[in-house]
C-alpha cells in the first residue's frame, strides 16, 4: 500500500482513530492490507472482517504478533495496536481502496483495466498481466480475488510506482460489478462473455447480461470498452458504450473484430492460432491448453495493444505463459496417462469447452476419460444444464464418463439414456471411491479431464491422479 498517516487512513474510511503506544495521528503506515491474520507481515494493516464461520476480531492479537501496525475494526479490541473503528469493515475496505486508487491516479501514470464475464476472467487477467508487467509495475489479483473483499485487497497493493492495475470483477448478483468497478472507474472495460455461470444468483441469462454490462457503464468517460464480437449479448453492450461516449474495440473470430483469430489448431501441447491484429497478421503459439483460451488471449491482446503495447511484442509475451492458473486446464500426470485438472470452476460453457478440448487433443490410439462433478450456482437451471453436459459427453464420443457426487448424478443418468452404458459411464458418490476406481481403470494412452465447480472438490482428486500417474 502507498504511505498514509493514521489520520489519513481514518479519514478515508470515516472511522474513529484510537491510538496505542507512541503512535500519533501523523504516524505513517505503508504495509500490505489483509483480512487474513495469517497473511499479515510487519507494518501491515489487519481488517477484522466478521465472517460466516468466525469473527476477525478474534484474530487481532495474532495479527499484532505478526507485526500489524494497525487494525481496522468494528469495535475496539483489547490489543497492543492502534485501531480505527468503523461501522462496517467490508465497506471500510472498499472506501480505503477507492481512496488509494484515487491518490495513485493523481500522479497521472496509472492505467486501469477491468475484466468481467461468465467465464475466462482469471485466465484473461493473468494473460494481460503477463503482457503488461514488462512495461511497468503491474498489479493484478492473486487467484480469483474478484469479489467485495478480494477486489479491494488487490487495489490496495498499489504503490507509488504502479503503472497498470488489472482488476477482475466477479458477481453473484446484480449491482456487485457496479460497486466494485465504481471503486476504480476503469480506463478500459473488457467483457468476455455472457453465459449461464451463476445464472441462479442473477435470475436468468438476461439478468446476467444486465449485471455484466455494469462494467461498461462504469468505464470512465472517454475510455474504452473491449467486447466479444462473437457473443450476441456482449455485442449488445455497444449501444451502452455509445450512450456514454465510450469507444468500442472488438475481439473474436469474425471479420468485424479488430483483434481476431482466423485459424486455430488445438494440440495436446497447446494451441496455434493465426491472428489479425489491427490488420497485421501474426501467429500465436499458446501453451495454455484449450481452443477457448484463444478468445481470452484475443481479449488480452486487444487491451494490451489499446494501452500502447506493440502487437508482436504482446504475442511473444503471451507465448511464455505455460499455465493460466493452478487447476485451470493444468496438465498433470505423464505422457503415459495425461491428467488435465480443470476443476477450479465450472459452468455449462466452460464444461462444454473443456470436453471439446479433451476430444480434440486425444489421438486415434488414445482413450478419452471425463471425470465430472457438479456445476454450482445454476439455481432452477441446474437439472437441465447437467443433462446437457451428459448429452454432450456422449455426442463427443467420450469413451469413459465418470460422474461424482449426488448433485452431478443427472450427467450420469443422461449419458446412460443416450447410450453410454456397459461401464462406459459410471457413478460414484465420493471422490475417494472414484479415485480407487480410476487408479485401476486408467491405462497407457488415456487422456483424462477432471472438471467440476470448486465446491465439488474434484481439483484435489485431479492432483491425486496427477501424482499417481506422474
Q: Which residues are annotated as a binding site for ATP?
A: 117-123
What are the residues facing 33 on neighbouring strands? 45
What are the residues facing 4 on neighbouring strands? 29
Of 432, 463, 430, 427, the residue nearest 448 (C-alpha): 463
DSSP 209: H
Residues within the annotated binding site?
A: 117-123
225's torsion region: left (phi>0), alpha (psi -120 to 50) or beta?
A: beta
| Rg, Å, the chain Cα set | 24
Query: Up-side HSE of residue 308: CA atoms within 13 Å toward CB?
Result: 6
Pairing of strands 259-267, 270-277: antiparallel
Of 207, 172, 191, 179, the residue nearest 114 (C-alpha): 191
How many helices (H) and strands (E) in the chain? 18, 22
Q: Are the C-beta atoms of 127 and 324 separated by less than 8 Å?
A: yes
Residue 226's SS3 state is: strand
Of 349, 339, 346, 333, the residue nearest 370 (C-alpha): 339
Q: Are the C-beta atoms of 368 and 358 separated by less than 8 Å?
A: yes
The CA distance from 462 to 330, in Å, is: 9
Amino acid at each position: 500500500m502507498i504511505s498514509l498517516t493514521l489520520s489519513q487512513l481514518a479519514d478515508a474510511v470515516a472511522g474513529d482513530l484510537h491510538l496505542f503506544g507512541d503512535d500519533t495521528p501523523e504516524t505513517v503506515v505503508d504495509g500490505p492490507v489483509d483480512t487474513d491474520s495469517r497473511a499479515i507481515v510487519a507494518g501491515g494493516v489487519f481488517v477484522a472482517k466478521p465472517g460466516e464461520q468466525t469473527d476477525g476480531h478474534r484474530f487481532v492479537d495474532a495479527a499484532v504478533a505478526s507485526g500489524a501496525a494497525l487494525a481496522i475494526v468494528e469495535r475496539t479490541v483489547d490489543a497492543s495496536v492502534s485501531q480505527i473503528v468503523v461501522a462496517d469493515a467490508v465497506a471500510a475496505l472498499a472506501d480505503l481502496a477507492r481512496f488509494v486508487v484515487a491518490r495513485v491516479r493523481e500522479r497521472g501514470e496509472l492505467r486501469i483495466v477491468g475484466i468481467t464475464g461468465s467465464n475466462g476472467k482469471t485466465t484473461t487477467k493473468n494473460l494481460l498481466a503477463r503482457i503488461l508487467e514488462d512495461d511497468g509495475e503491474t498489479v493484478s489479483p492473486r487467484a480469483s480475488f474478484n469479489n467485495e473483499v478480494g477486489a479491494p485487497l488487490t487495489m490496495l497493493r498499489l504503490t507509488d510506482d504502479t503503472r497498470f492495475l488489472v482488476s477482475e470483477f466477479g458477481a453473484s448478483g446484480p449491482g456487485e460489478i457496479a460497486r466494485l468497478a465504481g471503486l476504480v472507474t476503469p480506463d478500459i472495460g473488457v467483457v468476455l462473455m455472457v453465459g449461464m455461470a451463476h445464472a441462479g444468483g442473477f435470475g436468468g441469462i438476461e439478468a446476467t447480461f444486465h449485471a455484466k454490462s455494469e462494467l461498461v457503464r462504469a468505464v470512465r468517460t472517454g475510455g474504452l470498452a473491449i467486447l466479444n464480437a462473437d457473443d450476441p449479448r456482449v455485442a449488445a453492450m455497444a449501444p451502452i458504450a455509445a450512450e456514454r461516449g465510450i469507444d468500442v474495440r472488438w475481439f473474436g473470430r469474425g471479420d468485424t473484430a479488430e483483434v481476431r483469430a482466423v485459424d486455430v489448431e488445438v494440440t495436446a501441447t497447446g494451441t496455434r492460432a493465426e491472428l489479425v491484429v489491427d490488420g497485421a497478421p501474426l501467429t500465436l503459439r499458446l501453451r495454455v491448453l484449450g481452443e477457448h483460451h484463444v478468445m481470452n488471449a484475443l481479449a488480452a491482446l486487444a487491451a494490451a495493444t489499446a494501452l500502447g503495447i506493440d502487437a508482436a511484442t504482446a504475442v511473444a509475451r503471451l507465448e511464455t505463459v505455460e499455465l493460466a492458473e493452478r487447476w485451470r486446464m493444468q496438465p498433470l500426470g505423464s505422457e503415459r496417462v495425461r491428467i488435465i485438472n480443470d476443476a477450479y470452476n465450472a459452468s455449462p460453457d466452460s464444461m462444454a469447452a473443456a470436453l471439446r478440448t479433451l476430444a480434440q487433443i486425444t489421438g486415434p490410439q488414445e482413450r478419452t476419460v471425463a471425470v465430472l462433478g457438479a456445476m454450482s450456482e445454476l439455481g432452477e437451471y441446474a437439472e437441465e444444464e447437467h443433462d446437457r453436459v451428459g448429452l454432450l459427453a456422449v455426442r463427443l464420443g467420450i469413451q469413459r464418463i465418470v460422474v461424482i457426487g449426488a448433485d452431478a448424478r443427472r450427467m450420469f443418468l443422461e449419458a446412460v439414456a443416450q447410450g453410454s452404458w456397459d461401464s462406459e459411464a459410471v457413478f460414484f458418490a465420493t471422490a475417494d471411491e472414484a479415485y480407487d476406481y480410476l487408479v485401476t481403470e486408467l491405462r497407457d494412452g488415456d487422456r483424462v479431464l477432471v472438471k467440476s465447480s470448486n465446491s465439488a472438490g474434484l481439483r484435489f482428486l485431479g492432483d491425486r491422479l496427477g501424482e499417481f500417474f506422474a
